[in-house]
Structure 1
Amino acid sequence: MKKTTPDHMYAVMGPDAATLDAMSRREFMTLLEDAQTFRDSWDCTLRALLAYAREFRDQPYKLEELASAAGMSVSGVRTAYGPAEIWSVAMWMERLPENPAVMPPEYDG
């Protein structure tokens, strides 16, 4: 698993210590909620990329390779996406996965 270096952590955090110290509780909670929204967005992107890598390529990327790159376990990659992500990638790419049987049952295409 990749570790975040302190320099990277500080760059990602945003406000400096003085700004954080000066924030009201409400402002800080809003900042924390925004960070959660950002994390959820990246989690969604990660799941979609994994679905693409495994389901939409004629030669899927290996689980071990994806796990290493994503900082996940092999089983984490295997279970990181499901029908909703496969559907989203199919709509975005305007094509079916290599194995159309993995499409959600509600797909009528």
Structure 2
Amino acid sequence: MDLDEHQTTYLLYAPAKNPGGWNLDLAAFGAALEATFPEVRYETRQGGQLRLSFWAVSEDGIEFTGFASNEGRDTVVLTDNTADEAAVFIAWLRDSFLPSPDLVRFSSEPAQTEIRELLAYAREFHGDRRYKREPLAEASGRSVSGIRTAYKDGEADAVTLQVGREPAGRRMRPPARHGHDRRNTPASVPESGTEAGVFRR
């Protein structure tokens, strides 16, 4: 694969310690796109969260498709761009739109997947010596409460394949007895000092 031509999703967002630091106004963002790019279309949509979906083309013919949201954390998502293309948009956002150039953080979809797997490993594969949420939140740019929901069974399964063992929460549960109705079986109790595993099926 030619990484220079690889297209993926890029997440641009405000720092965890200042999630509203962009002062992102969706109408103002749409107007800024119109003032910068020769071809622009955008609309505001209300779904799970209020967002502004946009399509824009630069003078060099680079197409940008994505959305902006200011719910929870100021965020812009670009879909299907190469690293060089995303760099053009990030430079505009940083230098021409944001109140301060040091307020932008960014990551790619593959990087986010790797981060979720690392969080699953840190929290679920160390028994009662699991990593604490506070330093993990700081390192990953998430809130402390967000660490609980940052990964799911899929990430834990991927880690299991890599390290050759299952999460501690799964290992603690006894196997179901043949023919027994599991709906009437109480959930297993974790060992003292640990939290209940998040990978119950």
TM-score (norm: length of structure 1): 0.63
Q: For residue 74 of structure 1, what is the amino acid of its counterpart? A: V
Match for residue 28 of structure 1? 63
The alpha-carbon deviation at position 39 of structure 1 amounts to 1.3
Match for residue 112 of structure 2? 43
Percent of residue pairs bearing the same amino acid type: 36
Are the aligned partners of 1:67 and 1:73 in contact in 2 as well (CA < 8 Å)? yes
The alpha-carbon deviation at position 32 of structure 1 amounts to 5.4
Relative contact order higher in (CA < 8 Å, ≥ 6 apart):
1
In the alignment, structure 1 residue 53 sits paired with structure 2 residue 88: no
> RMSD of the TM alignment (CA)?
2.9
Match for residue 11 of structure 1? none
TM-score (norm: length of structure 2): 0.37
Are the aligned partners of 1:87 and 1:104 in contact in 2 as well (CA < 8 Å)? no
The alpha-carbon deviation at position 22 of structure 1 amounts to 4.9
Are the aligned partners of 1:54 and 1:60 in contact in 2 as well (CA < 8 Å)? yes
Identify the structure with the greater strand proportion.
2
1:1-109 equivalence runs, <5 A:
1=16, 22-24=59-61, 27-29=62-64, 33-34=80-81, 39-58=108-127, 59-100=129-170, 101=173, 102=197, 103=199, 105=201
The ranges of structure 1 where at least 4 consecutive aligned residues each deviate by more than 6 angstroms after the TM superposition are none
Unaligned runs of at least 5 residues, structure 1: 4-19
Larger-gyration structure (1/2): 2
Unaligned runs of at least 5 residues, structure 2: 1-15, 19-56, 66-77, 87-106, 174-196
Match for residue 50 of structure 2? none
Identify the structure with the greater helix proportion.
1
Match for residue 12 of structure 1? none
The alpha-carbon deviation at position 45 of structure 1 amounts to 0.7
